[in-house]
Structure 1
Amino acid sequence: MKIGIYGQFYHENSETYIQTLLNVLQQADAEVWIEANFLNIINEHQDITKNFSAFQTFTTLDASYDLFFSIGGDGTILKAVTYVKDLGIPIVGINTGRLGFLATIQKEEISESISQILNGDYSISERTLLTMKVDSEKNELEDLNFALNEVAVNRKNTTSMIKVETKVNGKYLTSYWSDGLIVSTPTGSTGYSLSCGGPVIDPNTNSIVITPIAPHNLNARPLVIPDSSTISLTVSGREQSFLASMDSRIETFENNTTLVIKKASFTINMVQLTDDSFIKTLRKKLLWGEDKRN
């Protein structure tokens, strides 16, 4: 079994869990490849006792990989997706961060969980993505033109609101006067959109949610639409430019640039342990069903 590993090493004490993962994979005789920059960080870290310099490294992936392990938080998975792209390689998210809606394998249970996965005791949660077309010659986001969580527009260099003229399937919806607007997948509904008052959406739902960021009009509410929809955003404001982002990647565009957003032609496969589910993750992460009266 050929396995790729990626991480960013942002989290305290994560070296312990990285060592555990590598030990488990070696004991299973897996063919392990580590992202080149991540391996450099591992070998420079004093708290990792074993020298892993003998592992093979990669800078890009191909279809020969059976699994791709992401060690960190949800932000690390968003970057891991930029390696996997449309290859269909299942991603295993090991959570060494805080909340972790995407990275659902807990660091304290690495040995047991990885053994289950290597034995094929898991299911695949298929996640939709968004893609964006821009009527501008300048678009550095085009090389990685997909987002697992959301596409968002935000004001830049100003405290003034921006105007986001929004159309759905070519029909005018409204103009949001706000700090910005989020177009989110079901996966991204528990991220930026949720923090701005958007709904929680099950990843299996075929939908997209449009969530305004601090809207001027209080009747501007999040809107859930079918994921077959095409959304067009035209942004204007007092400043000459605005920010557009696809997950963690950001670009500046001139006012009155139109962004056309729709579902991407491929999906991302997330590994889910057999006894896990989205509902279980919600209960655990949002503390639903817990009695706090005592």
Structure 2
Amino acid sequence: MKKVAIYGQSYSISAEKELKILLEVLQENNIVSFIEKKFYNLLVKANSLDKKYPTFSHFNDLNNSFDVLFTLGGDGTILRAVTYIRDLGIPILGINTGRLGFLATINKKTIKESVALILEGEYSIQERTLLTIKTSPETNAFSELNFALNEVTIARKNTTSMIGVETSLNNEYLTNYWADGLIIATPTGSTGYSLSCNGPVISPDSKNLVITPIAPHNLNARPMVISDETKIELTINSREKDFLISLDSRITSVSKNTKVFIEKAPFTVKSMIPNNQSFLQTLRTKLLWGEDTRNETNL
């Protein structure tokens, strides 16, 4: 490892202590660190750095000479960091200074240990599926960033009335979901918004997507797991003239006569996992799976 990028929240330096630990470890190993410019300016203003660092502020400032992009924050920080990486293939390693942290799995108390494992080659790379969308008629809202790591969500706007989301899979009609909206989630996103709407947990290496209705009115509507090779077409019926489309944390308003086409993106995001972490360990820790005194002897 010779060169890394570091991304954090540009409005908060709550991870100041963790950043200093990370920079110290990287410096000890003669690794060049680039810090995202807005985050860097915030740190400089707070006198949190002891020297100058090179910065990046755009997708074009990064390339495949970077060995990894560290994020400091929660899962939302990683979702924003993906917009810098796009299809460059730079692995992401998330240090969790937020709350739940399914993507940012490195505990802030184990930064030195985890980085040491990375430097020793004790890690694995997970290829994480993304979704991409097209609309008809076309909208310019997602012209450059028409991909999502977690999910694409269709939701009602400016109304308390449900919307109808007519759904077809590979050009075959499935059903019309009458609900507050519909989530199309990747395995990565299965532990996000979809999970809160009773969607299933899907292993990150699964070749699947999940369709999860949001508060459906037809009570027999249930989340559905499909192949990630499926092409999805959505047509929205609403009393209002607009509805909302969100790609992870990016959201736009779209006319109700717009068709939405969703499919697997032609590239993946690489997630770097030190050997002291695993998805199953994360499930036990974050979702409190197995929190039963009868299981104590098995942990």
The answer to whether TM tops 0.5 is yes
Match status 1:55 vs 2:56:
no
8 A contact 1:11–1:72 mirrored in 2: no
Give 3-state SS (helix, strand or coil) of 1:153's partner. strand
Q: TM-score, normalised by structure 2?
A: 0.94
Q: In the aligned structure 2, how far is the partner of 1:273 from the partner of 1:221?
A: 35
* SS of corresponding position for 1:212: strand
Q: Which amino acid aligns with 1:97?
A: G
Q: How does 1:1-294 map to 2 (within 5 A)?
A: 1-8=2-9, 13-45=14-46, 48=48, 50-52=49-51, 54-60=52-58, 61-291=62-292
In the comparison of the two structures, how many residue pairs are matched?
291
Contact 1:10 1:72 in 2 (8 A): no
- Name the aligned partner's letter for residue 274 of structure 2: L
Give 1:14's aligned amino acid. A
Q: Kindly state the Cα deviation for residue 126 of structure 1 after the two structures are TM-superposed.
A: 1.0
Q: Distance in 2 between matches of 1:153 and 1:42?
A: 37
Structure 2 residues not aligned, in runs of 5+? none
Question: 1:281 & 1:167 partners in 2: Cα distance?
Answer: 34
Is the Cα contact below 8 Å between 2:11 and 2:39 reproduced in 1? no
Q: CA RMSD in A?
A: 1.5
SS in 2 for 1:19: helix
* Partners of 2:13 and 2:217 in 1: CA distance: 40
Change (3 A) 1:282 1:11: farther
Q: Deviations over 1:203-258 (max 9, x none)?
A: 11100100000000110000000001001011121100000011011111101211
Alpha-carbon distance in 2 for matches of 1:210, 1:97: 27
For the Cα contact (< 8 Å) 2:123–2:274, is it kept in 1? yes
- SS state at 1:142 partner: coil
| Partner Cα distance (2:11, 2:34) in 1 | 20
Q: 1:32 to 1:170 in 2, by over 3 A?
A: same
What's the secondary structure of 1:51's corresponding residue?
A: coil
Runs ≥4 residues deviating over 3 A: 9-13
What letter corresponds to residue 234 of structure 2 in structure 1? Answer: L
Q: Matched residues in 1 for 2:128 and 2:20: separation?
A: 29
- Which residue identity does 1:51 align to in structure 2? D
- Deviation (angstroms), 1:45: 2.2
Cα separation, 2, equivalents of 1:14 and 1:257? 42
TM-score, normalised relative to structure 1: 0.96
1:276 offset after TM fit, Å?
A: 1.8
Aligned partners of 1:281, 1:69: CA distance in 2, in Å?
Answer: 19
Q: Which moved more, 1:68-77 or 1:35-44?
A: 35-44
